[in-house]
Amino acid sequence: MFEGYVVYYLNQYLGKYVDGIDQKSLRISIYKGDVVLRNLQLKPDALAGLDLPVTVRAGLLGSLTLKVPWSSLGTVPVEVKIDRLYLLASPKS
């Protein structure tokens, strides 16, 4: 049940950037404060706001780890670690 809430909120914040956030891709360690998502597809327009001279054709995030300070939530930042980011890009036309 807790995982369902986490998936909902992650989709609210990360859903415009990646596909594949579901309970199968999610691992939570409450005591360590780790929320790990694996094998996420990067959406083609995820990096559009950066105004890069390339268009993302495909992208894969091997893992996305959020280090959540549960006891200080709202006052201490959440750390984000991305591991194995693969991008297929082409020049903008």
Which residue, 27, 53, 47, is CA-closest to 39? Answer: 27
Residue 51 gets which letter from DSSP?
-
Query: Which sign, positive or negative, has the C-alpha torsion 50, 81, 24, 60?
Result: positive
Q: What is the pTM of this model?
A: 0.80
Beta-carbon count within 10 A of 51 CB = 7
Domain ranges of the chain: 2-91
Q: Which residue has the tokens 């591991």?
A: 83
Tens-digit pLDDT profile for residues 17-68: 999 999 888 898 878 889 999 999 999 998 888 999 999 999 999 999 999 8
Q: Cα separation of 86 and 93, whole Å?
A: 22
